[in-house]
A = this chain, B = another copy of it.
Amino acid sequence: MREGPEIARIAALVADPARSAMLLALMDGRALTATELASVGGITRQTASSHLARLVEREVLVVEAQGRHRYFRLAGSHVGALLEALMVFSSDAVPPLRTGPRDLSLRKARICYDHLAGEMGVMLYDRMLEEGWLGRDLDLTDKGWARLADLGLQHGDLPASNRPLCRACLDWSQRRHHLAGRLGKAVLDRVLALSWARHLPASRVIVFHPEGERRFGEWLR
C-alpha cells in the first residue's frame, strides 16, 4: 500500500466485511474461537486465520491459547470506542451468538477441572476484581484475605505448591474469565462443604440451592 497516514491502515483493518463482522461479535467483551469467528464472518477457517493474525499483529485483538483452541478478544476499550464511533454512522447491531452448552444448568454453574465455572464462576471472578480483593496481577490483597476469612478460609487451607494461587481461566460458556488456581479450587470446595451447592453425580453440573445462591451473592456484595 502507498504510504500515508497511519489511521488509514487502522481503518483498513475494519474496512473488510469479514473482519468487521468479527469485531462486532466481540464488542461485548467476550472471547471467541477462530472457528466461531470464521462463522460470524461468513468465511472459511483458513481465511479467518489470516485475518485474525493481522488483527493481533496490529494489536486490535489479543489472543489466548487454551488447549487446542485460540480465544480472541478486543485488545482494549479503545477498540470498542472506535467501533462505536463507526456505528454512529451505521447503526449496525451486535449479532447474537450462542456459545457453549445449551443446557441451562451447565451454563449457570459447573466444574471446570476442579474450580467453579459458568455464570457463577464469572461473577466470582468479576466481583473479586471490582471489589479489590484481587490486584491487577491477580495477587490476593489484605481485603481479599479478610473476605475469604468470612467464608471460613484461612491461609492454612491454601497450602503452597507449584500451582499458582490465583489464575484466570477462560469460561467455555460465558467466554469471559473465571477464577482458577488453588484459590479457585478452595472456594468451590468451601461452597460445597457449606452445602450452598451440590455436585450432580456423573456430570459436571453444580446445582446451587436457592438459599446458597443468596448467601453466595451476599458474600460477594
Contacts and interface: CB of A to CB of B under 8 A. Distances in A.
Contact of A78 (B7, B42, B78, B88): B88
Contact of A82 (B9, B88, B91): B88
Contact of A10 (B17, B42, B89): B89
Interface of A: 1-12, 14-21, 24, 42, 58-60, 78, 81-92
Copies in the complex: 2
A8 B4 contact: no
Contacts of A58: 89
Nearest to A93: B5
Most-contacted residue by chain B among A9, A42, A89 (CB, 10 A)? A89
Contacts of A92: 5-7
Nearest to A76: B88
Contacts of A10: 86, 89-90
B78 A6 contact: no
A21 B3 CA distance: 11
Given A4-B21, A7-B90, A85-B85, 8 more contacts: A5-B90, A5-B92, A6-B91, A7-B20, A8-B20, A59-B89, A78-B89, A82-B86
A14 B7 contact: yes
Given A12-B15, A15-B12, A15-B15, A89 B7 contact: yes
Contact of A7 (B24, B59, B81): B24
Nearest to A18: B4
A85 B91 contact: no
18 contacts: A1-B17, A4-B17, A4-B18, A5-B21, A6-B90, A7-B87, A7-B89, A8-B14, A8-B16, A9-B90, A10-B90, A11-B11, A11-B20, A12-B12, A78-B88, A81-B88, A82-B89, A84-B85
Contacts of A88: 78, 81-82
Contacts of A2: 17
A157 B2 CA distance: 58
Nearest to A60: B89
A16 B18 CA distance: 18
